[in-house]
């Protein structure tokens, strides 16, 4: 006897294979900062960008001297034409004189990263 598959059965099998494949597919975010310079006494808009990651679940968190900065919004997500995603986190911050020498960073957590997180650091400076 010969096994015959209707187009619907073939389509269903193809969809299952794709779902199985994409469950294991990940892409690590490429992380960058728009302006890595903080000026003391001025409002600074901190921007942390994560590009070309998959799947779309990601967290971006601003940290000052190993402590989370308050009142952080949810990162803005956008989808690329290739199915990967971008995210941006913006945070308004005015450094004070006591912030000199403190560490500021954008902490990124995503399942495709080798470590639990990627950090990019900023250093405040005087005018």
Give the start-to-end residue ranges of the domains of the chain: 26-125
Q: How many helices (H) and strands (E) does the chain have?
A: 1, 9
pLDDT at 56: 94
Q: What is the pTM of this model?
A: 0.72
Half-sphere exposure of 22 (CA within 13 A, CB side): 11
Whether omega for the bond prior to residue 22 falls within 30 degrees of 0, making it cis, is no
CATH (residue range 26-125): 2.60.40.10
pLDDT of 89 over the 60 cut: yes
- The pLDDT assigned to 51 comes to 94
Site of tokens 């006591």? 98
Q: What is the pLDDT of residues 45-64, one digit of tens each?
A: 889 999 999 999 999 998 88
Q: Looking at per-residue confidence, does 121 or 60 come out higher?
A: 60
């Amino acid at each position: 006897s010969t096994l015959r598959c209707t187009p619907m059965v073939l389509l269903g099998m193809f969809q299952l294979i794709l779902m199985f494949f994409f469950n294991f597919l990940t892409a690590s975010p490429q992380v960058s900062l728009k302006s890595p310079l903080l000026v003391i006494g001025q409002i600074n808009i901190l921007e942390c960008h994560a590009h070309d990651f998959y799947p779309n679940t990601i967290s971006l968190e601003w940290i000052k001297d190993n402590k989370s900065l308050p009142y952080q919004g949810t990162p803005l997500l956008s989808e690329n034409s290739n199915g990967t995603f971008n995210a941006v986190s913006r945070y308004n911050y005015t450094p004070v004189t006591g912030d000199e020498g403190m560490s500021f960073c954008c902490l990124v957590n995503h399942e495709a990263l080798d470590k639990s997180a990627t950090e990019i650091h900023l250093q405040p400076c005087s005018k």
